[in-house]
Structure 1
């Protein structure tokens, strides 16, 4: 009996599932290790395990890098992108595991520092090994974000700052970058000769040997640049959105609600983030961006409600909180099909734009107060 041959598409699917499972197991292992070592009452005998785990994660990261290079040479772009994403996630896991090797007064800041360092080193290595438009865009976006996180976490460790200040600064920078992402990512390459009239009429020309040899650009000329811009924009969008939700989770966990300025700042930050992530998708033409933003809005409101649950003493207040969460979920589900083409009323559309812009401007100020920066300045 002859065995059925495995198709290349099946091999790609198996490879992708294997990579995703490896990252999931690595994330679970790092999470369990962090809770066992860093939390109060952790087992001191677990201190030797991070070294072995870091070595294993680095080997897996190098394997993903190698698979990415091989996949690009064999023109398997999907596998290469998944391998690149897994390499970045494994770098982050390796940095978190490395922060558990020795006890530290600021474990979260140390984990951010080591994770961003691993990602920077990995992206620097991949920049030399890969010359492909899409992956170049992904690598440049990951390198830029990890480098900024490296600098911020370094300043936090050197100045012995509170982790809330790090979270507030990252959140404020992430929402500003998300708002200005198209202007940050898309730029005119130096080899393009762009004039004002040609730009307004979308007639792009490229500089030739002499001006008479200039010609109109075709889709073939700009194809690689557009691939790089789109990959950089998509990667930057995902990273900015992650850097909105994760620092907010840190503020939820460490915010001092017994201080008036911190509590008010946190409430304003929650409302501003929810408004921004709910109204911003109206201006996006991609379903992936709209659904990711609205999912992030639900996560922000859910984390805030879970945190407020501990301050509710009576059963009526808890019932009111459950009803509020349900109402918000129903409104968001209803808003997904209704806001697909925007508001039908011009007044409501302009009001939505104004609220979105106002929430974006208020968020950095609210993060400043929620992170306890005012108390830090008073203590200087």
Structure 2
């Protein structure tokens, strides 16, 4: 049996995006979130006594990695070393191995070079494991080195391939580095492929098990949902993977129904919704509020509501930051038609007088009407609008 962690795309010290509006406490937690998520992963590795850890590229966010990220990672590797846990790491398009970077890792950390290499490991239960991979060197690499991976032709243990690249059938808008097909990977007869580069968890096949682990911390709305790593367990007959979430801040999009667009009512309804979310920890939210009514809200009032919802999070540890909020009308077409009618005819005196005369000339109706000079024009318009809305709902 073997038990290991497969992770990728840690992007330590990521600069993140769209943080100009955020208060300092949220910016600081956002900037530190990749480190918090990584620390949780290393804690898990030690607590669950894994055999080794695999990091499939883009551990750092850029080749000019910060001193903070290097020191942090070295300390975590030393913690693993103290518990006899090895780490096998490749570099990807965001953190290629470049001249001038001379980081000194513990002896238990094996970093693959620019050409395909193989490391042999043995688990505490005596299982032989062969780990194959290569790192990007100098610049972003579009060339495939899959032909350099050795083929497993002997039943001599578990074979694992590390690769930072793009599945040929992927439709995601990403850089297509080291593009591969399933036939390419299957031809090597490995038991597991630990893939990196795609920031979305994905299993390409079950036999053999080929996984993208995704990243450990989302960085913007397009990286929504839980993020973490894969715990892989099994033997040469069958390996299985379990997702372990470790993100510190969740990026998510929600849809809610609101009963009013009065700015006070809207603020209170969204605040109530935020407090329900808060039990699940820190979140950066894109919110779509649906309103099934006819009233409108001025853009300045909506902006004021959003601004106040954001200000409320300034000193809260488990913040729910509304990064963007859109108000959508469930029957926008009906409301647009009514507004168009009001704008086109609502202040047209000749049409008003003609309609009023027609109404009063009907003997079946006029006996129920007040004297024409006592007619309140605004009240009449409101009654007419309600009647129009009722007819349009039928």
Give the TM-score, by structure 1 length.
Answer: 0.27
Query: Quick check: which one's strand share is greater?
Result: 2
Give the TM-score, by structure 2 length.
Answer: 0.26
Q: Which has the larger radius of gyration?
A: 2
Query: Quick check: which one's helix share is greater?
Result: 1
